[in-house]
């Protein structure tokens, strides 16, 4: 169950990073709405991470959490923010995904 909580926490990390991207692109009241989304999703993400590390090793949980966040944020950047998607960027995203999966399998 805590692996599911950790995955959801990682997804909220993607949300808070994406909200920061939108803060950069907007101004006025809309910027503050995105910033509010950033704060809310950050609190949720860290709260879920805190719950997950009660039974998972902190090093593994943190690495998986940041891995999910990094991969998700890069994909959102490519899809939403039109960041470049070259071979090496996608290659290293794949190696990161493999590392996150590997950490899950070697953890108790």
Average pLDDT, the chain: 94
What is the structure's pLDDT at 23?
A: 94
What is the structure's pLDDT at 105?
A: 87
Give the residue-averaged pLDDT of 64-93. 93
What is the structure's pLDDT at 26?
A: 93
pLDDT tens profile 35-75: 999 999 999 999 999 999 999 999 999 999 999 999 999 99
What is the SS3 string spanning the chain? CHHHHHHHHHHHHHHHHHHHHHHHHCCCHHHHHHHHHHHHHHHHHHHHHHHHCCCCCHHHHHHHHHHHHHHHHHHHHHHCCCCCCCHHHHHHHHHHHHHHHHHHHHCC
pLDDT bracket for residue 94 (50, 70, 90): very high
What is the structure's pLDDT at 107?
A: 77
């Amino acid at each position: 169950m805590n692996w599911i909580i950790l995955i959801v926490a990682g997804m909220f990390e993607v949300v808070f990073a994406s909200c920061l991207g939108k803060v950069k692109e907007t101004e006025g009241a809309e910027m503050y709405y995105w910033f509010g989304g950033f704060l809310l999703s950050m609190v949720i993400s860290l709260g879920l991470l805190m719950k997950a590390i009660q039974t998972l090793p902190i090093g593994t949980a943190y690495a998986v959490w940041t891995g999910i966040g990094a991969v998700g944020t890069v994909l959102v950047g490519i899809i939403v923010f039109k960041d470049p998607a070259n071979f090496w960027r996608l290659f290293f995203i794949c190696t990161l995904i493999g590392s996150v999966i590997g950490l899950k399998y070697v953890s108790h």
